[in-house]
């Protein structure tokens, strides 16, 4: 039971902040299964970095574990450690670059390490020897992204060095696309050719390649079946959002996240009376307006000012004036609305919907940034998963 002096209120509590995110675990499960069907017999590694794209790292990992996902991908060491501390036993690959002094923590928490250079391989091998364990490693090949990884044209010494490591299990080898979600796939196909060229190292020596060869992100899953290899890495697609409007929808997915608030104030605004900081908008006639407690402090971008719309009573209305840190004002003209009415920022209401892609267009960014910028002060509510 919660004590009266306990300031913590869960998202399930009616007294919780009226701005919240709802995550449908059922839709996430459906999306995962749809991706599995598209890419079979390859394995599927759900990517859960950046708080599972705003959906909740631990909760989504628990679902993926219940669905027997063979692997989980995250970006940084801390994400992997948190999953282990919360009881996730599924193998976890940390996709980002590492520092040598982090290696013991990877090994202590049984996390799979991305090795992106001969030096990193050596550090991993030495640390594993000192701890008396085998390190599980995936080799990173740069085929055209220029972030981390050994260049494809100089990968042979790297692969030779991996063969000499005695305390490293080279379980996987991978690369990453720069343009798999683009209409023109010329560069993406060039990257596939470069990756396959690297893999020929094993063929030439009559050696088996690492067990998991992988390259396909969401865009490649949708557009490049030849990039499937042994494992695919869906990120945005898992959450029911397509990487770009023009991309082929070859996997049917539905958004798993809805972002909602509620009306906390209603007023009539006189002609010429400006709304918000900077007084950038004023009606030229009498209008009704409502206030909702959400703003750029929650990740509702200020750059959407004078562009954003919300759903209220099944109808779209414009957000007027500059978006504040904690509040927005919505012009409902002379329609009716009441305190506690639901305001949909992302999601469906009646026959209408506002998508993550809509917010990205209004903010001049991409859907990835919209989802990952929904602040952790926004409570998450998880809809029951009963399958």
Residues counted in the chain: 387
First to last CA, the chain: 29
Tokens 């088996």, located at residue: 208
Catalytic residue among 120, 239, 277, 300: 277
- Dist CA 124 CA 102 (whole Å): 9
Q: Is 5 helix (H, G, I), strand (E, B) or coil?
A: coil
Contact 301, 365 (CB under 8 A): yes
- Dist CA 34 CA 344 (whole Å): 27
Contact 51, 57 (CB under 8 A): yes
Contact 126, 146 (CB under 8 A): no
- Dist CA 223 CA 234 (whole Å): 13
- 277 is an active site residue: yes
Catalytic residue among 32, 49, 152, 296: 49
- 32 is an active site residue: no
- Dist CA 114 CA 284 (whole Å): 59
DSSP 76-89: SHHHHHHHHHTT--
Q: CA 130 → CA 109, 120, 139, 166, distances in Å?
A: 16, 15, 21, 12
Q: CA 61 → CA 58, 102, 322, distances in Å?
A: 5, 23, 37
Catalytic site positions: 49, 277
């Amino acid at each position: 039971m919660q004590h009266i002096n306990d300031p913590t209120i869960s998202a399930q509590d009616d007294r919780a902040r009226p701005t919240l995110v709802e995550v449908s675990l059922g839709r996430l499960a459906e999306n995962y299964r749809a991706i599995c069907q598209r890419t079979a017999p390859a394995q599927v590694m759900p990517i859960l970095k950046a708080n599972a794209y705003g959906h909740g790292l631990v909760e989504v990992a628990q679902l993926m574990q219940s669905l027997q996902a063979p692997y989980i991908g995250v970006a940084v060491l801390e994400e992997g450690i948190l999953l282990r501390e919360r009881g996730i036993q599924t193998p976890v690959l940390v996709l980002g670059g590492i520092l040598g002094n982090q290696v013991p923590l990877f090994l202590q928490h049984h996390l799979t390490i991305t090795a992106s250079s001969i030096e990193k391989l050596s550090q991993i091998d030495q640390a594993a020897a000192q701890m008396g364990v085998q390190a599980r490693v995936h080799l990173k090949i740069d085929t055209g992204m220029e972030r981390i990884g050994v260049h494809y044209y100089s990968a042979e010494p790297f692969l030779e060095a991996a063969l000499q490591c005695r305390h490293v299990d080279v379980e996987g080898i991978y690369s990453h696309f720069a343009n798999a979600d683009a209409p023109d796939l010329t560069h993406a196909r060039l990257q596939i050719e470069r990756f396959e060229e690297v893999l020929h190292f094993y063929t030439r020596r009559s050696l088996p390649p690492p067990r998991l060869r992988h390259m396909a992100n969401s865009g490649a899953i949708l557009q490049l079946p030849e990039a499937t290899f042994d494992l695919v890495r869906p990120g945005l697609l898992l959450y029911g959002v397509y990487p770009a409007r023009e991309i082929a929808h070859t996997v049917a997915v539905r958004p798993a996240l809805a972002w909602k608030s509620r009306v906390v104030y209603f007023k009539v605004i006189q002609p010429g009376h400006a709304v918000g900081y900077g007084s950038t908008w004023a009606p030229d006639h009498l209008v009704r307006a409502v206030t909702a407690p959400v703003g750029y402090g929650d990740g509702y971008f200020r750059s959407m000012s004078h562009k954003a719309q919300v759903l209220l009573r099944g109808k779209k209305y414009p957000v007027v004036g500059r978006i504040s840190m904690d509040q927005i004002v919505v012009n409902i003209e002379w329609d009716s609305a009441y305190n506690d009415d639901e305001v949909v920022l992302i999601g469906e209401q009646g026959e209408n919907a506002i998508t993550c892609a809509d917010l990205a267009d209004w903010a001049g960014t991409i859907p990835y940034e919209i989802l990952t910028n929904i602040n952790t002060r926004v409570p998450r509510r998880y809809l029951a998963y009963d399958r």
